[in-house]
Structure 1
Amino acid sequence: MRKRMKELPFAGMLRRVAVFAAAGALLVSCTKEYDGFPSAGNELRFSVSQQGEADAERAMTRATPVTENKFHDAFGVFGYSHLGEENWTDVAPKFMFNIEASTEDGTNYTTKDTYFVPGKGQNVTFLAYAPYGAEGLTLPERGTIGAPNYEYEVPQDVAQQSDLCFAVPATLKGGTEDGTVNLAFHHALTAVSFVGSKGMAYAKFSRIALKGLYGKAVYQSDGTGTVQWTDYSEPNSTYSLSLDPNVTISANGKEDKPITTEAQTFMLLPQDLANAELEVTFKDQQFEWHTLTASLSDREAWQPGEHVTYTIKIVEDRLIIESVDVTAWNKHKEVDEEGEPAYLPERLKIGDYFYSDGTYSDGGLRWIKEDGEYVIASPKPTPVASKTVVGIVYATFRDHPDRFGKAERDTLLRQYGREPRGLVVAVKNASSVKWYNDDESPESGLPKTNRPSLCYKDISGLANSRHIEDTHGFSDYPAFKEATEHQYGALTKDAKTTGWYLPAAGQLWDVFQNLGNIKSLADESLQTSEQFVGNDAISISVEEKARLNSWLSGIEDADIFNPENDDKAIWTSSESNAGYAISWDLENKNSTKILYFHQKGLSAQYVRPVLAF
C-alpha cells in the first residue's frame, strides 16, 4: 500500500492550529466581504513548514541557500478569488496582490492587515514568491489575468543573489472552518559553490568568476509548480566574487577545502553551459599572480533546485575541474514519510531515454522506495518524437560511481575532458552470432570470471573489447565486432560517448538489477559468491522480467530481453575459461543457469551492446 506523501522542503502540512512553529504565518483582513460574498468569519492563515523542524531559522544572508532549517524573512502573496466553477487562471489577483508576510522571530509570519476566509461559493487560489522584494525580480503588472510571469535578472553582486523560491498554487474553498493554507515552495535557481582539491599545488585565491552565462530570463508560473524559465538573454553575463580574505589552499593538503562560504554561494539561472567558463585569480608559492580559465561547456546543464559544487585544482599552468558534486537541494521534491529521495524529471537517472545525438530525456522514474519498489510517473513519459532512441540509461555516475570501469572513465576524460555521466544499454540487439568463429578457441588473455563474485566485479567491457582488438583483431571474434559496429540509430559525432561495445558480465548484471529491480541480483551473498557460475540459484520472477522490458515500451523497433520461449542467451565479453564465455539468459527455465556460460564457437547468442557517455 502506498505511503502517505509529503512535499519537501517547505511543503507545509495542513494543520488545525492558530500559530505554526515551523514557519507558520498569520495572514489577515480588514473586511468580511469579498466581491459580494460574505466571509466565513475565520481568519486566514498560511503554513510554510519545513521537514520535521519545530523552529525554523532564517537564512543568514540573501545569498545563503534556504534549507529545511532556514527560510526567508518575508515572502510576497498573490490571491485570486473566483467562483467555485471558475478557474483561477481566468481572473486577476484582486484578493491579494504582492502582500508581504514577514517575520521578526523566524517563527510567525504576519501581514499588516487581517484577511478572512470567504463564504461558501467563493474560492481563493494563492501563489507566492520569496524573498519579498527580491533584487532583480520584476513582478507582473497589477490586474494581469492568469498565472503571473516574472522577469528576473541575476544581480551582479553575489551577496544580492537571492535563493529565489516560488510556491505551488494552493486553493482554499470558501466557507471552510479551517483557514489554513499550505504553501509549498520550491527553489527556482541553481546554487553553485567551489572547493579546492587536497591534491593541488599551493594557491592563494583572490577571485573566482563565472563567464559566458545567461543572466536574464522569464519565470513562467504555469499553475502546476513546474519550474519553467523562458526568454533567456544572450549568454554574455559574468559574475565575479572577490574573496576577502583570500583563500589559501596548501600544497597536498589532507582534505579538500571550501573556496566559497555558504554566504558566498552563487545563485544563478538554470541553464545550458555551452558558452560558460570558470576563471580564477590566485597567487602561487613564488608570490606571482595568475589568472586561469577552464571551460564548462562539456559539463552537465544546471537544473533548478540543485546545488552544484565544483572541486578544482591547479596543476602546473592549468585549471582543472577535478569533480562535480550535484546534490538534490531541491525544488518541490517529493519524499515519503521515511525520507526516501525522489528523482526530478530533468535529472539524469536510470530508465531515461538516450538518443543518437548524445542527449537524453525523462524515462519516468520518480523515486525508489525503501523496500526497493520503483514508482514510475503516470502516464510514463514518451520519447522525443523528432529524435531516435538508441538506448536506455541503466546506471548514472552520480548514483553508481563504483560501477564504471576504468577504461570507460579514462576514455571520456581523455577525449572530452570530463567524468562519465551514465551507462547505456542498446534498445536493439546488434545481431545473433558466435563469440568466436571456430569450435576450438585459443587462449584470449582475458581474465577468467568463473565465479559470480568475479562476474560482478568485471565492469569494463570496453577494456575487454580493446584487449581482443589489440591482441587478436575482431575478424575471428564476431560478437565483439558486431557490438562495436552496431549501427541502429547511428551515433552522431556530437554524441560524446565511448561508442558501443560488448558488455562485461558485471555490466549486464547492472542492466538487469537496476532496470529490472531484480531482488536476487542485489543480494550481497550472490555478488560475493565464490561458487562456480551456474551453482547459485538465482530467482527471477515474471514481474521482474516484465519490469525490465517495460523500459522499452513505446520505443519503435526495440528488442525485448529474452523473449518467451527464445532459447538464445546474451553474450558478455567476460570469459569463464579458454573455451567458454559468460552469458545471461533470463528465459532459462533452470533458475540456476540464468547467469551461465556457453561454448564460444558452438552456437550463436544475442549481442546487446552498451556504451558510456
Structure 2
Amino acid sequence: MKGMNFLLLASSCLLVTAFAACTSVDEPVSEPFVPIGFSPAMNDANTRYASDDLPATMGVFAYLTEGGGFNASASTPNFMYNQLVTRNGTAWSYTPVKYWPTNTNDKVSFFAYAPHNASGLTPCANTQKGYPYLTYTVAQAEKDQTDLLATAPFADKNAGDVNFTLRHALTKVTLKVKSGDKYAKEITSLSINTATSGELHFKDGGFEWKNVTGNYGYPPATTTDLKFAATDREREIATFFLLPTATVTATYSIVYTVKTTTGTDVLTRTFSALPLSSAPLWTAGAHIVYTINLSERTATVTAGVTDWERDTGNSYDVCTYYPDDLKVGDYFYDDGSWSDGGLRMYVTGTNQRQWETPFPAPVLINPVTGVSRNVIGIVFHTTASDTDKANGWTHGYVMGLKYYTGNKADGSWARNAGYNTAIPDGGGESDFDGYTHCQQLMADAEWTANNTNFPAFNNTCVTHNANVPAPATTSGWYLPSAGQLVSIFNNIGGGVSNNGLTNIGSHMGKATGSTVGLSNWCIYYSSNESGDRAWAIMFYGGGALIQRLLYAKVPYDSRCQTGGHIPVLAF
C-alpha cells in the first residue's frame, strides 16, 4: 500500500495573525507571540496513515476574522492561501511562520489539503467568500489515484494546537475476481465506469461532494494477472479511489475468453455497462469490495464492505436501510412515532456504520396525523428482550435526550454501597432487561422508605418520567441494563470510547437543536448489580478508558467521582 500517492484534506480553522511593530531594540515585548503549529491525525488506527506514513506536504488556507468569528458569506482566505506546509518525520513546518492573534476577539479558521498542489486538484480562487471548495479529478490510471482526506472545519480559534482529525473523503473500491465451472478463463478487458470530477465543499460540521460529473471506464493496472483456472479462488485485481455519489450509478464492463485445457479459446463473453448493486452506498470513507464470479455462461457480482486498510478479502453481511425503515439513530417522538435519523448501512458484527451527512432533521409534524410532535429520544436498538416482547414492547429501545449527573452520593447508583436488592448480574452485556430490574428495585422496602437513596433510579425512573412524559404505548423511562448501556455506546457512538461520546453528542444535538454531549469524566451506571458493585462504563478525560467493569455503587475512583444516568425506554 505504500506505493500509492496520498492526498490529504484537512479542514480546520487556523488562527493566524501578522503583527508588525516598529520598536526600539531595547523596548520590551510584554506579550510574546505564539506560533501556529499543525499536528494532523487520523480518526482511527485501522488505516494506512501511520505516524511515519503521512503525506509529505499539505496546502493550507487560513481566514483571519478580526473582532468575531468566521462568516460563511463574507470571509476570505486573507491570511494563508495555498500555504505550503512540509513534514519532517512527525513535525510539520512552513514559512513564513504565522502567529495566533493577541486580541482574544480575533479568530482564525483553517482549511487544508495534501499533498500540496496535488495532481488533479484545483483550489477555489483566493477571492472565494465563505467556505472554500476544491475541484478534484480522479486520475485515470489506478496507480496514480490519490487517497483524499478531509475534516470538519476547525473554526474560530485563538490559541492551542491545530490538530486536524482526518477522514477519508473518497470511496475506496476494490475489485476481486474468482472463477467457477469447467473451463479456464482469461480477462481481456475490465473496467469500472463512474464519475470523473467533483467539488469537495467544506461546510459547518463536515464536508460534502457537489457537481459530481463525467464518466470514465477505469481499468486495473495489472495486465498480467488476469488468467484463472477453471475453479480459482478470489483474487484482488484492482483498488480504486473514486468519487462518492448520492446513489450508486457505477457500472462495470468485462470481456473474457473461456479456454479448453489446452488453452484454445472456446468462446468470448462480453458484458458492457452492467449496473453494480445499489447497496452499499458509495459514501466518503467507505471501502466497497465487489467480487466478480466468472462462469462459462455469465459473470455475477456480489458486493460487501470491509475496513479501509484490510486487503484479506474478508466478506461481511451488509444491512442497508431506506429512510422509512425503523433503525438505529431514528428520532423518537412523544406520540410514539419515529422518523429517519440517517443510518444507511451497517456491517453486521462490527461498529461500522454509514450515516447520511448531515443527519436528517427531525420531522415535527406527524405525516400521518398532521399533528405536531416533539422529539424525546433516539432509537439505539431495534430488537427487544423476550421479557419486553411479552409486555408488548416489540420494536426495541430509545435513549433519552437528557442525562443526569452528580458528584459522590448524588450521582451514585445507591447512596450506600451496602444496599443489595438482588437485581441479577445478568451476564453483563447480554442483559437487556433494564425495565424488569428497575421494577424489582422499586418494589424493595429501601426504595419505598426513601427513593432518593437510589439516585440513578430516581433520576431516570421518577424525575425523567415527570419531566419528559413517555407515550402510553411504551414502558416509560428507566435506568438501562448493562447490555442496553453498552448498546448505546456501540450503536449510536460507534464504540465505547471518547470518540463515541462525541458521536452520541452529535446525534443528541441534531435531535434537540442545541449543543448536547456526554461527559468524559463520568461513571455511567446500568441497573445490574453484583453485591456492593454495579455494572458501569467509566471515562476519565483523555486518559485510558476503563470499560464494562463492575464499579462501586458509590463513585470512589480518584480519577472520576461523577456518576451519570441515561434514561431509556422500551417501545
Q: TM-score by structure 2 length? A: 0.51
* Cα shift at 1:198: 7.0
Q: What residue ranges of structure 2 are gaps of 5+ in the alignment?
A: 1-7, 22-28, 311-319, 332-338, 370-377, 401-423, 440-456, 465-470, 478-571
Alignment of 1:27-66 (within 5 A): 32-33=19-20, 40-50=32-42, 66=49
1:230 aligns with 210
Percent identical pairs in the alignment equals 19
Aligned to 1:311: 291
CA shift, 1:252, in A, is 3.4
Contact 1:29 1:113 in 2 (8 A): no
What residue number does 2:175 align with? 194
CA displacement 1:465-497 (0-9 Å, x = unmatched) = xxxxxxxxxxxxxxxxxxxxxxxxxxxxxxxxx
Q: Distance between the aligned counterparts of 2:140 and 2:393, measured in 1?
A: 45
- Residues 81 and 88, structure 1, Cα contact 8 Å, conserved in 2: no
Pair 1:185 & 2:176 matched: no
Deviation digits for residues 194-232 of structure 1 (CA, Å, limit 9, x no counterpart): 123476774344543112x2322222211322x211223
User: Could you tell me which of 327, 347, 357 is aligned with 1:350?
Assistant: 327
Equivalent residue letter for 2:294: I
Structure 2 SS opposite 1:159 = helix
Q: What's the CA shift for 1:133?
A: 1.7
Partner residue of 2:302? 322
Q: Any gaps of 5 or more consecutive residues in structure 1?
A: 1-9, 15-26, 60-64, 331-342, 355-359, 397-423, 426-451, 457-504, 528-535, 551-557, 565-613
Could you say if the C-alpha distance between residues 69 and 161 of structure 1 is closer, same or farther in structure 2, counting changes exceeding 3 Å? same
**Is the 1:214–1:269 Cα contact (8 Å) retained in structure 2?**
yes
Question: Structure 2 matches for 1:489-528, cutoff 5 A?
Answer: none
Alignment match of 2:134 (pick from 150, 154, 161) = 150
Task: Verify the 8 A CA contact 2:43 2:166 in the aligned structure 1.
Answer: no
Which of these residues, 218, 241, 245, is aligned with residue 220 of structure 2? 241
Alpha-carbon deviation of 1:283? 4.0
Task: From the superposition, tell whether residues 387 and 164 of structure 1 become closer, same or farther in structure 2 (CA, over 3 Å).
Answer: farther
Matches within 5 A, 1:127-276: 127-171=111-155, 173-174=157-158, 176=159, 180-197=161-178, 202-211=184-193, 213-225=194-206, 227-233=207-213, 236-253=215-232, 255-260=233-238, 265-273=239-247, 275-276=249-250
Question: What is the aligned partner in structure 1 of residue 26 from structure 2?
Answer: none
- 2:280/2:288 contact within 8 Å kept: no
Question: Which residue pairs with 1:96 in the alignment?
Answer: 80
Instruction: Give the CA deviation at 1:76.
Output: 0.9
Structure 1 residue 302 corresponds to structure 2 residue 289? no
**Cα distance, 1:147 vs structure 2:** 0.9
Q: Is the 8 A contact 2:176 2:289 kept in 1?
A: yes
Q: What CA distance in whole angstroms lies between the structure 2 residues aligned with 1:365 and 1:306?
A: 12
Asked if 2 retains the 8 angstrom alpha-carbon contact of 1:350 and 1:515, the reply is no
Per-residue displacement from partner, 1:5-56 (whole Å, max 9, x unpaired)?
xxxxx999x9xxxxxxxxxxxx99996439xx99842322111134798xx9
Q: Residues 364 and 380 of structure 1 are in contact (CA less than 8 Å); yes or no, is this contact kept in structure 2?
A: no
The answer (yes or no) to whether the contact 2:185–2:258 under 8 Å persists in 1 is yes
C-alpha distance in structure 2 between counterparts of 1:508 and 1:70, whole Å: 55
Aligned-pair distance for 1:108?
A: 2.6
Deviation at 1:71, TM superposition (A): 2.4
Question: In structure 2, do the counterparts of structure 1 residues 66 and 215 end up closer, same or farther at CA, with 3 Å as the change threshold?
Answer: farther
Whichever residue aligns with residue 81 of structure 2, its letter is: F
Superposed, 1:443-454 pairs within 5 Å as none
For residues 242 and 379 of structure 1, the distance between their equivalents in structure 2, rounded to whole angstroms, comes to 37
50, 53, 56: which is aligned to 1:70? Answer: 53
Shift of 1:522: 8.6
Counterpart code for 2:290: Y
Counterparts of 2:179 and 2:192, CA distance in 1:
22
Residues 218/559 of structure 1: CA separation in 2 closer, same or farther (3 Å cut)? farther
- Which deviates further from its counterpart, 314-323 or 163-172? 163-172
CA distance in 2: counterparts of 1:290 and 1:257, whole angstroms: 20
- 2:110 is aligned with what amino acid? F
Q: Distance in 2 between matches of 1:150 and 1:115?
A: 23
Name the SS of the counterpart of 2:41 in structure 1.
coil
| Equivalent-residue separation in structure 1 for 2:69 and 2:15 (angstroms) | 24
> How much does 1:506 deviate?
11
Correspondence for 1:610: none
Q: Secondary structure at the match of 1:42?
A: coil
CA RMSD of superposed structures (Å): 5.7
Report the Cα distance in structure 2 between the residues aligned to 1:507 and 1:245, rounded to whole angstroms: 61
Q: Give the residue type in structure 1 aligned to 2:216.
A: S
Structure 2 CA distance, aligned partners of 1:133 and 1:321? 37
Pairwise CA distance, 1:300: 3.2
Partner of 2:146: helix, strand, or coil? coil
Query: In 2 relative to 1, CA 537–524 (structure 1 residues): closer, same or farther, beyond 3 Å?
Result: same
Distance 2:85 2:221 in 1: 34
Is 1:81 equivalent to 2:34 in the alignment?
no
Alpha-carbon distance change, 315 to 395 in structure 1, aligned in 2, over 3 angstroms: farther
Instruction: Provide the rounded CA distance (Å) in 2 between the counterparts of 1:30 and 1:380.
Output: 37
CA apart distance, 1:304: 0.7
Query: What is the number of residues matched between the two proteins?
Result: 371
Among 316, 329, 341, the residue aligned to 1:362: 341
Q: Distance in 1 between matches of 2:65 and 2:434?
A: 63
Q: Shift of the alpha carbon at 1:281?
A: 3.4
**2:367 & 2:54 partners in 1: Cα distance?**
42
CA contact (8 A) 2:9 2:150 kept: no
- Cα distance in 2 for residues equivalent to 1:514 and 1:507: 15
- Corresponding residue for 2:110? 126
Question: 2:255 aligns to what?
Answer: 281
1:430-482 per-residue CA deviation (whole Å, 9 max, x = no partner) reads xxxxxxxxxxxxxxxxxxxxxx9xx99xxxxxxxxxxxxxxxxxxxxxxxxxx
Q: CA deviation at 1:384?
A: 9.8
1:83-109 CA-to-partner distances (Å, cap 9, x unmatched) read 242435332111110111123x54333
With over 3 angstroms needed to count, the CA separation of the structure-2 counterparts of 1:540 and 1:192, relative to structure 1, is farther
Write the deviation string for residues 234-293 of structure 1: whole angstroms up to 9, x where unpaired: 5x433223423323444434x532222xxxx21111114554311233343434354335
Give the distance between the partners of 1:509 and 1:524, measured in 2 at CA: 23
